[in-house]
Amino acid sequence: MTGLRVVAVPLLVLGALLLVPDLAFAAGDAATHGADHVPLGARLPIWSVGPFAGILLSIALFPLVAPAFWHHHYGKIAAGWAVLFGVPFLVKYRQEAIDAILHIYAVDYIPFIILLWALFTVAGGIVVRGSLKGSPKVNVGLLAIGTVLASIVGTTGASMLLIRPLMRANSWRINKTHLIVFFIFLVSNIGGSLTPLGDPPLFLGFLHSVPFFWTLHLTPAYLLLSAMLLVGFFFLDRYYYGKEPEDAKQAMLSAETEKFGLAGTHNFLYLGGVIGFVLFSGSVTLGDVHLTDHLHVPIQNLVRDFGLVGLGLLSMKTTGKALREENEFSWGPIEEVAYLFAGIFMTIIPALAILGAGEDGELGWLVAGVQSDISYFWVTGGLSSFLDNAPTYLTFFNTALGGLDMSAAECAQNASLVCGEPEKVAVLIEERNRTLLAISAGAVFMGANTYIGNAPNFMVKAIAEEGGVAMPSFFGYIIRWSLPILVPCFVVVTLVFFL
Q: How many structural domains does the chain have?
A: 1
- Is 330 a domain residue? yes
- Give the pLDDT confidence score for residue 119 in this predicted structure: 85
Q: CB-based contacts of 7: which residues, under 8 Å, 6+ apart?
A: 113, 114, 117, 309, 312
User: According to the per-residue pLDDT averaged within each range, which of 180-194, 274-288, 350-364, 396-410 is highest?
Assistant: 180-194
Q: Ranked by mean pLDDT, which of 196-200, 226-230, 415-419 comes out on top?
A: 226-230
Question: Has residue 270 got a pLDDT over 60?
Answer: yes
Report yes or no on 463 lying in a domain.
Answer: yes
- pLDDT tens-digit readout, 129-142: 776 777 899 999 99
Residue 126 domain-assigned? yes
Residue 190's CB is within 10 A of a number of other CB atoms, namely 30
Interstrand relation of 127-129 and 261-263 (parallel, antiparallel or unpaired): antiparallel
The pLDDT score that the predictor gives to residue 353 is 84
So what's the pLDDT on residue 279? 84
Entry pTM = 0.80
pLDDT value at residue 7: 56
Q: What contacts 493, CB < 8 A, 6 or more positions away?
A: 221, 224, 225, 377, 441, 445
In the predicted model, is pLDDT for residue 319 greater than 70? yes
Q: What is the mean pLDDT of residues 376-382?
A: 93
Report residue 199's pLDDT band, with 50, 70 and 90 as the boundaries. Answer: confident
pLDDT above 90: percentage of residues in the chain = 34
Question: Would you say residue 416 has pLDDT above 50?
Answer: no
- Please name which of 464, 485, 490, 275 lies closest in space to residue 381, comparing C-alpha atoms: 490
Percent of the chain with pLDDT over 70: 87
Asked if 447 contacts 389 with a C-beta cutoff of 8 angstroms, the reply is yes
One-letter amino acid at 38 equals V
Closest C-alpha to 122, from 152, 148, 165, 153: 153
The per-residue pLDDT of the chain, averaged, comes to 83
Residue 60 lies in a domain: yes
Separation CA 29–CA 351 (nearest Å): 24
- Check: CB of residue 355 under 8 Å from CB of residue 346: no
Q: Residue 273: what pLDDT? A: 92
Max distance between CA atoms of the chain, in angstroms, equals: 80
Phi-psi region of 287 (alpha: psi -120 to 50; beta: other; left: phi over 0): left
- Which of the four pLDDT bands, split at 50, 70 and 90, describes residue 40? confident
Average pLDDT in the 310-319 region?
93
Residue 217 lies in a domain: yes
pLDDT bin (cut points 50, 70, 90) of residue 148 is very high
pLDDT level of residue 257 (50, 70, 90 thresholds): low
Residue 127 has pLDDT above 80, yes or no: yes
390 pLDDT band, cuts 50/70/90, is: confident
Kindly give the pairing relationship between strand 261-263 and strand 296-298.
unpaired
The answer to whether residue 174 sits within a structural domain is: yes
**Position 335 confidence tier, pLDDT thresholds 50, 70, 90:** confident
Asked, for residue 414, whether it belongs to a domain, the answer is no
- Provide mean pLDDT across the span 69-78: 90
Q: What is the per-residue pLDDT for 413? A: 44
pLDDT-derived band at 36 (thresholds 50, 70, 90) equals low
33 band by pLDDT with thresholds 50, 70 and 90: very low
Higher-pLDDT residue of 278, 218:
218
What pLDDT score was predicted for residue 16?
52
Which residues are CB-contacts of 219 (< 8 A; sequence separation ≥ 6)? 194
User: Phi first, then psi: what are they for 290, rounded to 5°?
Assistant: -95, 95
Question: What is the pLDDT, as a whole number, of residue 490?
Answer: 97
Structural domain including 6 reads: 1-24+48-359+456-476
Distance CA 141, CA 199 (A): 22
Give the C-alpha distances (Å, rounded to integers) separating 149 from 35, 139, 142, 157, 181.
48, 15, 10, 9, 18
Residue 69, in any domain of the structure: yes
N- to C-terminal Cα separation, the chain: 52
